[in-house]
């Protein structure tokens, strides 16, 4: 493999410092005029979280504590990254950082650009819930099945003395 070609590397950071490390790195790259560093990426993905009947978009880190960097490995680029505040080191064996395989980089970047945000559900199967919207408002039930792709939950409600499965939207139910 050619030494001068640009490759992706993984940097380990203090947990929760990913944004700060990215900002510090970009400033250091600009001030030291390094043409060897091309991109600094924090792998994130959009998630839809349903909490208290409200849907909200949140950005979750795919690899907490890690930052991806695309660079041409040289003594200067290695020192810029290694001496950035918040960086604990490169991921790799020994003293030499190991480049991330191209297919792994592509998988992570593809995961970041997934078309539909994932829905994070606050309830689980067998949990008691209350219906807060729709024709079954104020009914109590038990979660039977969760369909995250469709944003639906199947709930067993007691109707006319019998347990009846009813499919409801995530926003129509809340935890007890």
Which residues neighbour 128 within 8 Å (Cβ) at sequence distance 6 or greater?
Answer: 140, 141, 142, 175, 176
* Residue 75 main-chain phi, psi, to 5 deg: -60, -40
Q: What is the pLDDT of residues 98-156, one digit of tens each?
A: 899 999 999 988 888 775 566 666 788 999 999 888 899 999 999 999 887 788 899 99
pTM for the whole structure = 0.68
Mean pLDDT of the residues in the chain: 86
Q: Do domains 6-119 and 122-175 have the same CATH topology?
A: no
CA distances from residue 104 to 7, 17, 61, 93, 101 in whole angstroms, order as listed: 12, 23, 16, 18, 5
- What pLDDT was estimated at residue 110? 86
Fold type of domain 6-119: Alpha-Beta Plaits (3.30.70)
In whole angstroms, what is the distance from residue 6 CA to residue 8 CA?
7
Torsion angle in degrees (nearest 10) through CA of 87, 90, 95, 100:
-170
Q: Which CATH class is domain 122-175?
A: mainly beta
Domain ranges for the chain: 6-119, 122-175
């Amino acid at each position: 493999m050619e030494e001068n070609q640009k490759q992706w590397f993984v940097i380990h950071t203090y947990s929760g410092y990913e944004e700060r490390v990215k900002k510090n790195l970009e400033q250091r790259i600009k001030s030291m005029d390094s043409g060897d560093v091309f991109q600094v990426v924090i792998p994130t993905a959009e998630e839809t979280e349903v909490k208290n009947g409200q849907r909200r978009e949140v950005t979750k880190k795919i690899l907490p504590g890690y930052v991806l960097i695309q660079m041409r490995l040289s003594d200067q680029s290695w020192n810029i990254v290694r001496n950035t505040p918040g960086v604990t080191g490169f991921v790799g064996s020994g003293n030499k950082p190991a480049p991330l395989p191209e297919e792994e980089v592509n998988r992570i970047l593809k995961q970041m650009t997934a078309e539909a945000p994932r829905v994070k559900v606050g309830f689980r199967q067998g949990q008691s819930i209350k219906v807060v919207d729709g024709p079954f408002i104020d009914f109590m039930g038990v979660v039977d099945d969760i369909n995250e792709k469709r944003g639906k939950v199947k709930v067993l409600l007691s109707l006319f003395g019998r347990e009846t499965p009813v499919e409801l939207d995530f926003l129509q139910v809340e935890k007890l």
